[in-house]
């Protein structure tokens, strides 16, 4: 059904004005960082509005001409052409009426939704009762009109002064009810300026500035003003948890529960922040790992990391390690130190990185060199099952053998992975990597391209078919194997199992074939290519877990590590303990 009379009265003017406001509203929303609307709709409606305004102008002009030939249009417009008088009068009348009606509605709203409501009401917003009689309601409307008529001259006669606090409060509550947040915030602030101990305004203003650290201070102020209200403590806890201060949030929930034992929202809120409180707590993670390859190279690493208390989406930390690399004859050493940061602005996006330096201890001369190293990784997912983009940049030392360390081989790499879900179970992945390998005497270039078709049998199991191709710009004598071309065809499987008690087992295996073409030669025969990676996490207590990683590879050209020869097998194990303080 339609309400009113389309095309008549002030309805048409109202929608014309609404359409004209659209582009300004869009620009305003864009500037304020709010979600913007559909520009197609805006331009479409603007075009219609322009057409209507044009039609109105032409109609007024034609009518004016017609009336001028019929009879003069009064004395008021004697100096103006009749068309202009008509247009002026009709536009003034229409917009004046519309403005009066809209102003009347706003006045009525302020009057009807006036009055102060306690903070406890804020949490129990219920639709207003319909039970009041219509007669009573209309009597109020009539009274408002009469009052407005009487009050207008009086107000005009009075000198300008600031409205009393209760007027601000009424305006604020009305704006709150209408979800006009900026107006409500301004009015509540005005209330607090006049009455700093108004707990209702304090609570509401805090709710309106939820994303601002000021909200926390306001909620804490509310708790000072209303120390017996458990909801105040819960609001403080909620604000603290939003700010990533989970331990303090826990304490506030405990305070709320002391005042309101068993309050479901406090219990649920406490349970919600308990795990992140442990996860966000400062933690240390000592680590020990070792590896050995078929060329006789052995590495041993002792290291660890320390994370500071997480502050909202940001977490800072430091990591350090010392590696010893030996081939049975000579031994080189590496010491790494880096500051690291992780930022997770939303559930679907994250950025993490580390920046520091690596000190190389050569085995031949015993001299040391420090080189800057670091990494940054950005991940973004459009939705839970949407397109995923994973971009990484890294500068690291190749340290699979003493020779590589002695030659100071540094790899600076940029890699990108794009995952496109075709269906909920079928995903396509494309990988691209480009790396510069610089050593004391040479500069090499490595490119790798890959494609993966993955089928998720369940959320925990995935099968994939993969094709990869790796190229080097030339051969190297710095200690890493650099063929002209390596091709890998592989079937892979990824499995992830997690128990209700927090045990986690993840296995990533691949089996396939690969062939290599050295510089000046044709691709050799296909040979096997096997890889294995597994991760076991054993929870010890909330925030404390033991983690074991085991990795193995049997291939000529590893996709991740630096192989030291054309036939290469490799195995490694790493054990770490995360201990939240």
Q: Which residues bind another protein (CB under 8 A)?
A: 1-12, 14-15, 18-19, 22, 37-38, 41-42, 44-45, 47-48, 51-52, 55-56, 58-59, 63, 66-67, 70-71, 97-98, 101-102, 104-105, 108-109, 112-113, 127-128, 130, 132, 134, 137-138, 174, 177-180
Q: Which is nearer to another protein, 112 or 194 (CB)?
A: 112
Bridge partners of residue 517, in order along the sequence: 485
Q: Which is nearer to another protein, 22 or 478 (CB)?
A: 22
Structure token pair of residue 19: 């359409």
Query: C-beta of 404: minimal distance to another protein in Å?
Result: 53
Q: How far apart are CA 367 and CA 406, in angstroms?
A: 9
- The angle, 0 to 180 degrees and rounded to 10, between the axes of the packed helices 39-70 and 82-112 is 130
Query: C-beta of 405: minimal distance to another protein in Å?
Result: 55
Q: How far apart are CA 205 and CA 332, in angstroms?
A: 62
- The angle, 0 to 180 degrees and rounded to 10, between the axes of the packed helices 264-280 and 246-259 is 160
Structure token pair of residue 555: 């291939």
Q: Which is nearer to another protein, 35 or 264 (CB)?
A: 35
Q: How far apart are CA 167 and CA 154, in angstroms?
A: 17
User: How far, in Å, are 106, 116, 171 from residue 167 at the CA level?
Assistant: 14, 10, 6
Q: How far apart are CA 68 and CA 87, in angstroms?
A: 14
Query: C-beta of 384: minimal distance to another protein in Å?
Result: 13
Determine what percent of the chain falls in helix, strand and coil, rounding each to the nearest 5: 35, 35, 25
Q: Which is nearer to another protein, 105 or 146 (CB)?
A: 105
Residue carrying structure tokens 């700010």: 243
What is the rounded end-to-end Cα distance, in angstroms, of the chain? 65
CA dihedral 36, 38, 40, 42 (to 10 degrees): -70
Q: How far apart are CA 269 and CA 525, in angstroms?
A: 62
Q: Do residues 452 and 431 lie in contact, with contact meaning Cβ atoms separated by under 8 Å?
A: yes
Query: C-beta of 187: minimal distance to another protein in Å?
Result: 15
Q: Which is nearer to another protein, 180 or 536 (CB)?
A: 180
Q: Which is nearer to another protein, 131 or 228 (CB)?
A: 131
Query: C-beta of 6: minimal distance to another protein in Å?
Result: 5
Q: Which is nearer to another protein, 70 or 154 (CB)?
A: 70
- The angle, 0 to 180 degrees and rounded to 10, between the axes of the packed helices 230-242 and 246-259 is 170
User: How far, in Å, are 50, 53, 236 from residue 61 at the CA level?
Assistant: 16, 12, 64
Q: Which is nearer to another protein, 66 or 491 (CB)?
A: 66
Query: C-beta of 437: minimal distance to another protein in Å?
Result: 48
Q: Which is nearer to another protein, 38 or 211 (CB)?
A: 38
Q: Which is nearer to another protein, 367 or 383 (CB)?
A: 383
Q: How far apart are CA 529 and CA 568, in angstroms?
A: 10
Closest CA to 254 of 239, 224, 233, 280: 233
Structure token pair of residue 480: 């890493």
Query: C-beta of 90: minimal distance to another protein in Å?
Result: 9
Helices (H), 450-578: none
Query: C-beta of 45: minimal distance to another protein in Å?
Result: 6
Q: How far apart are CA 188 and CA 180, in angstroms?
A: 12
Q: Which is nearer to another protein, 41 or 151 (CB)?
A: 41
Query: C-beta of 112: minimal distance to another protein in Å?
Result: 6
Q: How far apart are CA 162 and CA 471, in angstroms?
A: 76
Query: C-beta of 275: minimal distance to another protein in Å?
Result: 25
Query: C-beta of 520: minimal distance to another protein in Å?
Result: 58
């Amino acid at each position: 059904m339609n309400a009113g009379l389309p095309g008549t009265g002030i309805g048409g003017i109202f929608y014309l004005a609404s359409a004209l406001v659209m582009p300004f509203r869009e620009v305003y929303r864009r500037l304020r960082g709010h979600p913007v609307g559909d520009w197609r709709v805006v331009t479409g409606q603007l075009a219609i509005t322009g057409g209507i305004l044009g039609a109105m102008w032409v109609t007024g002009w034609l009518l004016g001409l017609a009336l001028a030939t019929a009879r003069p249009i009064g004395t008021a417009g004697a100096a103006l052409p009749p068309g202009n008088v008509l247009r002026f009068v009709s536009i003034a009348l229409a917009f004046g009426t519309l403005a009066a009606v809209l102003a009347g509605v706003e006045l009525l709203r302020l009057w009807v939704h006036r009055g102060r409501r306690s903070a406890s009401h804020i949490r129990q917003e219920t639709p207003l009762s319909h039970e009041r009689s219509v007669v009573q309601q209309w009597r109020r409307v009539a009274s408002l009109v009469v009052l407005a008529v009487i009050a207008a001259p009086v107000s005009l006669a009075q000198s300008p002064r600031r409205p009393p606090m209760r007027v601000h409060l009424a305006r604020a509550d009305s704006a709150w009810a209408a979800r006009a947040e900026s107006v409500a915030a301004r009015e509540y602030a005005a209330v607090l300026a006049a009455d700093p101990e108004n707990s209702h305004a304090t609570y509401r203003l805090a709710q309106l500035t939820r994303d601002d650290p000021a909200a926390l201070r306001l909620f804490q102020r509310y708790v000072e003003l209303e120390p017996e209200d458990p909801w105040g403590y819960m609001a403080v806890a909620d604000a603290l948890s939003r700010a990533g201060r989970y331990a303090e949030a826990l304490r506030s929930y405990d305070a709320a529960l002391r005042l309101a034992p068993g309050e479901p929202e406090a219990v649920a809120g406490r349970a919600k922040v308990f795990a992140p409180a442990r996860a966000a707590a400062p933690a240390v993670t000592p680590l020990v790992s070792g590896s050995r390859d078929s060329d006789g190279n052995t590495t041993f690493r002792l290291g660890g990391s320390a994370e500071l208390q997480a502050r909202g989406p940001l977490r800072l930390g430091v990591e350090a390690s010392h590696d010893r690399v030996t081939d049975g004859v000579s031994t080189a050493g590496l010491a790494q130190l880096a500051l690291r940061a992780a930022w997770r602005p939303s559930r679907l996006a994250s950025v993490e990185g580390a920046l520091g330096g690596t000190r190389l201890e050569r085995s031949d001369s015993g001299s040391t060199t420090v080189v800057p190293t670091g990494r940054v990784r950005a991940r973004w997912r459009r939705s839970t099952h949407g397109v995923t983009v994973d971009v990484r940049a890294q500068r690291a030392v190749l340290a699979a053998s003493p020779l590589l360390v002695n030659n100071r081989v540094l790899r600076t790499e940029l890699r990108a992975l794009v995952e496109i879900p075709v269906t909920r179970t079928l995903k396509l992945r494309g990988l691209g990597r480009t790396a510069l390998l610089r050593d004391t005497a040479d500069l090499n270039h490595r490119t790798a391209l890959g494609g993966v078709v993955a089928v998720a049998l369940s959320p925990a199991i995935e099968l994939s078919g993969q094709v990869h191709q790796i190229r080097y710009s030339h051969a190297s004598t710095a200690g890493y194997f650099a063929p002209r071309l390596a091709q890998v065809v592989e079937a892979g499987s990824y499995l992830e199992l997690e128990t209700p008690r927090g045990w986690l087992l993840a296995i990533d295996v691949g089996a396939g074939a690969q062939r290599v073409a050295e510089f000046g030669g044709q691709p050799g025969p296909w040979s096997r290519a096997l890889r294995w990676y597994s991760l076991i996490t054993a929870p010890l207590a909330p925030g404390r877990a033991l983690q074991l990683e085991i990795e193995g590879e049997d291939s000529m050209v590893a996709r991740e590590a630096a192989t030291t020869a054309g036939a290469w097998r490799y195995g490694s194990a790493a054990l770490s303990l995360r201990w939240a303080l």
